[in-house]
């Protein structure tokens, strides 16, 4: 599962790029911002539709291009963030998004789901892996009852954390059905 999380984060970072994530963070009031190291771990997936996914794929190359351009401009004097945010906001509206932050949420969901689908794993694999690990613990004669309880508790807690990174079943089915289109856009950029 660590490989899946790493791939997901790599896809999300590639998609959003530095300017994209800064635009998203600075779009909220300071008191509403969360620590940078916890924000990525607590996002909520959106429920994707075929239309939403097609609009995302159509917008992705241009957003990526603009994000690269703005990341270069960030070191320049002045206030490029204001212009960059307005430009991104206006651009995503042409693809049916209310705000750039909405596009970012879709990006994170697509990146997570696509990254998981690319591994070839199925959604029930995590539950099956958990059952197998717990069975091995229960059947290990070298462990005391206390050790078995501790190990099972650790596995359950870890699996609970990893389950947050599993795509929604309906998103997974949609992304799997559109893998060639997604790969053509995501893997190319």
**Whether residue 37 is found in the same domain as residue 116:** yes
pLDDT at 31: 38
**Whether residue 172 is found in the same domain as residue 149:** no
* Measured distance CA(167)–CA(175) in Å, rounded: 10
pLDDT at 189: 58
pLDDT at 123: 76
Residue 50 pLDDT grade (very low, low, confident, very high; cuts 50, 70, 90)? very high
**Whether residue 56 is found in the same domain as residue 129:** no
- HSE-up of residue 155 (Cα within 13 Å, Cβ side): 19
**pLDDT over threshold 50, residue 2:** no
Q: Angle at CA 121, nearest 5°, toward 117 and 126?
A: 120
Greater confidence (149 vs 81) lies with 149
**pLDDT over threshold 90, residue 57:** yes
**Whether residue 86 is found in the same domain as residue 46:** yes
pLDDT at 42: 54
pLDDT at 78: 58
Mean pLDDT (whole number) for 43-55? 92
**Whether residue 154 is found in the same domain as residue 89:** no
Contact between 25 and 37 under an 8 Å Cβ cutoff? The reply is no
pLDDT at 43: 66
**Whether residue 128 is found in the same domain as residue 92:** no
Q: How many CB atoms are closer than 10 A to CB 99?
A: 15
**pLDDT over threshold 60, residue 155:** yes
- Percent of all residues in the chain with a pLDDT value above 90, rounded to a whole number: 37
Q: How many CB atoms are closer than 10 A to CB 31?
A: 5
Q: Angle at CA 89, nearest 5°, toward 187 and 34?
A: 80
**Whether residue 118 is found in the same domain as residue 136:** no
Residue 74 pLDDT grade (very low, low, confident, very high; cuts 50, 70, 90)? low
Per the structure, the count of domains in the chain is: 2
Contact between 99 and 127 under an 8 Å Cβ cutoff? The reply is no
pLDDT at 178: 96
**Whether residue 26 is found in the same domain as residue 84:** yes
* Measured distance CA(89)–CA(79) in Å, rounded: 16
Greater confidence (106 vs 41) lies with 106
**Whether residue 23 is found in the same domain as residue 81:** yes
Kindly state the helix (H) or strand (E) to which residue 116 belongs, with its residue range. helix 100-118
**Whether residue 149 is found in the same domain as residue 72:** no
Domain of residue 92 covers: 2-122+167-186
**pLDDT over threshold 60, residue 72:** yes
Mean pLDDT (whole number) for 79-108? 86
**Whether residue 97 is found in the same domain as residue 174:** yes
Mean pLDDT of the chain: 76
Mean pLDDT (whole number) for 66-75? 74
**Whether residue 171 is found in the same domain as residue 92:** yes
């Amino acid at each position: 599962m660590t490989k899946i999380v790493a791939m997901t984060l790599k896809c999300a970072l590639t998609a959003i790029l530095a300017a994209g994530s800064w635009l998203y963070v600075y779009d909220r009031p300071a008191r509403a911002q969360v620590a940078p190291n916890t924000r990525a771990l607590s996002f909520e997936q959106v429920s994707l539709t075929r239309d939403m996914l097609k609009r995302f794929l159509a917008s992705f190359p241009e957003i990526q291009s603009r994000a690269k351009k703005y990341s270069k401009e960030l070191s320049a004097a002045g206030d490029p963030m204001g212009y960059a945010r307005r430009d991104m906001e206006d651009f995503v509206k042409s693809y049916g998004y209310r705000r750039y932050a909405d596009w970012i949420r879709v990006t994170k969901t697509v990146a997570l789901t696509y990254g998981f689908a690319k591994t070839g794993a199925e959604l029930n694999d995590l539950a099956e892996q958990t059952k197998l690990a717990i069975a091995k613990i229960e059947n290990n004669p070298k462990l005391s009852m206390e050790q078995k309880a501790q190990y099972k508790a650790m596995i359950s807690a870890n699996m609970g954390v990893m389950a947050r990174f599993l795509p929604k079943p309906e998103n997974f089915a949609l992304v799997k059905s559109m893998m060639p289109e997604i790969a053509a856009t995501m893997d190319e950029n």
